[in-house]
Structure 1
């Protein structure tokens, strides 16, 4: 069972720090409990509630064998998201959001195949036969494509859901996901509209410690879902031999009953 961080741990991570009051979004009023030095303070009860709701949903998605796309192109979130998504085998985007990554996925898949073809040519020596200039051009193209598409290279279809660290900064990704009726998750700071995503998690989306506190819990929930899926598969696999043996046992004829000796006739 994934363990939620305590209020104290969230405080130490700075999850409660919002933006300057003048930058606030009025739709966040229910998630703000005060102000200090002109900065809004986020109610950590709502943060924990949002994490709990989002974590349960992510666990179910992982348990069903579906994918969640992680998006965080802000510098302070990139390494955190890359490590977390890789750990649970989920696709991710951390360099920049390329328009149409979801809504024009067929074109994106062609770019991914091109990137993978160049990778194969670099590895098997095919490019040794071309000029140095051509090889350098292809190598640079591969590096550029890997930065943008490397995290979704194994994404063969549109994922079931998307998680973004900053829904204002990643508004293009959120818009594409909503257009495709994907479930949307996001860390929502005081300058954002929490109704923009299905599962808002009120919190500081600028500090790396705050981001990691939220991500660590969500990753644990996904791990739990993956573990439950694995257990279910094992149970089904072990049940099949037993099911196959049952009909066979039923078809085996029972041995004939022994005849009782006939009593001698009375004289």
Structure 2
């Protein structure tokens, strides 16, 4: 029996490819026909590849391996998160951080930081910190939760990677291939199938198409033992009906008497020095007589008499006033005039070549 029916694939629109002008010639063998300028995927081949991927996912789950689901496009975010959590797998749904696989040692440091902030929030550390610092920690927590929330429990590299739209998740494919991790993926008619190890020809743009493929792959992991299977839920329901058994009490450890203690260890002295014990009286040493030398008196010098300065009256020499030469009114009036005014005056007097003369030359010419 097929793990997914042809009817389910048709109803989900798995067979719709991209426009014929956007196709990749390497996908020619997976195309059935074209209709209204759109390629139609051969669903018979799709069913065969789904069954092959289903078996490999079951084997991975039976060996205790984990699969990393990667889908950062808008149509795949909700499906990737919900189905990965249901199957207890890892996922990346926001943005692929460079080095998530190839530089996993550094990524683990960020994951540890995420756990530290969560622990601070649980044990009440946020209530003792300043409000501004708490706001910064919450922003950091939201950012780490968005990028690393799906891989916060990933201790080692996954056994396989499942990709939705290989064109968009190019970096994830390159890192997985560099580390030799097998890559499974939904490949549309505009993608390169050579980048994927196990391809599933399908429409990677429709939400229903992505959901039916991802759900089928997660069912394989659950069936293989990686998630909570339906049988396990039924068994849990049966066990809850029975009365819970009380755990047996452990036998109390025998109390070892003091006589059983090894005698090799030296007993501690019970006598402790008292702090307030009186110290023995010690007589003070006799003071030695001090010998003082006679001090010879020093001669005192008499202060010199202070002579008060007498004010000296300075007589200023008489300065004779110099006669100021009378200025010619015509000279003063010409000096106050501008060049244009001087040229107008020269024009009125009939002087020639006045336009090329300077102010001083105009004044000399007008004086003459």
How far apart are 1:127 and its partner, in Å? 2.2
For each residue in 1:152-210, what CA deviation from the matched residue of structure 2 results, as whole angstroms up to 9, or x when unmatched?
A: 00000111110011111111111100000001100000011112111100000000100
Mapped pair 1:57 → 2:56: yes
Runs ≥4 in structure 1, deviation > 4 angstroms?
none
Instruction: Return the offset for 1:224.
Output: 1.4
Separation of aligned partners in 2, 1:192 and 1:48: 19
Please give the root-mean-square deviation of Cα atoms over the aligned residues, in Å. 1.6
Kindly provide the CA deviation profile for residues 219-244 of structure 1, in whole angstroms up to 9, marking residues without a partner as x.
1111111179x99xxxxxxxxxxxxx
Pairing 1:186–2:182 present: no
Higher helix share: 1
Structure 1 residue aligned with 2:132: 133
The match for 1:199 is 198
The aligned residue for residue 170 of structure 1 is 169
Q: What do the CA deviations read for 1:87-130 (whole angstroms, capped 9, x no partner)?
A: 11111000110000000000000000001101110111112222
Q: For the residues of structure 2 that align with 1:163 and 1:189, how far apart are their CA atoms?
A: 14
Which residue in the other structure is 2:352 paired with?
Answer: none
How many pairs are equivalent?
229
Alignment partners' CA distance in 2, 1:6 and 1:66: 27
Aligned match of 2:218: 219
Query: What is the TM-score when the length of structure 2 is the normalising length?
Result: 0.60
For residues 218 and 158 of structure 2, the distance between their equivalents in structure 1, rounded to whole angstroms, comes to: 17
Gaps of 5+ in 1: 232-267
The 5 Å alignment of 1:222-261 reads: 222-226=221-225
The alignment's TM-score, normalised by the length of structure 1, stands at 0.83
Distance in 2 separating the partners of 1:7 and 1:24: 24
Which residue in the other structure is 1:38 paired with?
37
Give 2:104's aligned residue. 105
Q: Give the Cα separation in 1 of the matches to 2:113 and 2:169.
A: 26
Please state how far the C-alpha of 1:4 moved relative to its aligned partner.
2.1
**Secondary structure of 2:225's aligned partner:** helix
Task: List alignment gaps of at least 5 residues for structure 2.
Answer: 232-368
Quote the residue 1:145 is aligned against: 144
CA distance in 1, matches of 2:205, 2:152: 27
Larger RCO, structures 1/2 (Cα 8 Å, 6+ apart)? 1
